[in-house]
Amino acid sequence: MLHRTTIAAMLFGLLINGCGSGAGEPVVTEPAPPLDGHRSSAHASSGNASVSSPTYSSPMPTDLNSMIQAALTDAANTTRLDVSALRLVSAEKVTWRDGSLGCPAPGRMYTMALVPGYRIRIQAGAELLDYHAGARGQPVACPPGRATEPVADARI
């Protein structure tokens, strides 16, 4: 019978060697890219393992006013309308049901946890734009028909 310390050492060895991935390198997974795809990768190399960490094209807003400004700027760029032609319909702190931030893409899986964030709605001419964000992420336009409602009366 194997001693518990021996078993623990063998399991630790498997983890260090990439769980038998065949390449001898640890398996590194990256987080899902933001919904709008504005992302570049910064690679750091340590020994023979390459680790990727996301970097974003602009600073991430963290309060409702910053979220509103980011959404208005994106809406103006997307619709080619001046910001003065846009109308803020609503802006609120919400709690999303999962990691999709209320905008699930078909065929994707998301973290099943409540996520604090924001929902911002902007009228651009005849079009109503729906922006969703996590508490520390960029607001992203959710295409019509894909948006889901946040958790009702949740405190964040």
> Rounded distance, CA 145 to CA 105, Å?
11
What's the pLDDT at 17?
43
Please say whether the beta carbons of 150 and 102 come within 8 A: yes
CB 72 within 8 A of CB 141: no
- Contact at 8 Å (CB) between 71 and 111? no
d(CA 88, CA 86): 7
Within 8-125, strands assigned E span: 40-46, 49-55, 86-96, 115-124
**Would the pTM count as exceeding 0.95?**
no
Q: What's the helix, strand, coil split of the chain in %, to 5?
A: 20, 30, 50
Q: Which residue has the tokens 């190399």?
A: 45
Quick one: pLDDT at residue 61? 56
Nearest to 32 by CA among 94, 100, 133, 118: 100
Q: Which residues of the chain have pLDDT under 70?
A: 1-61, 153-156
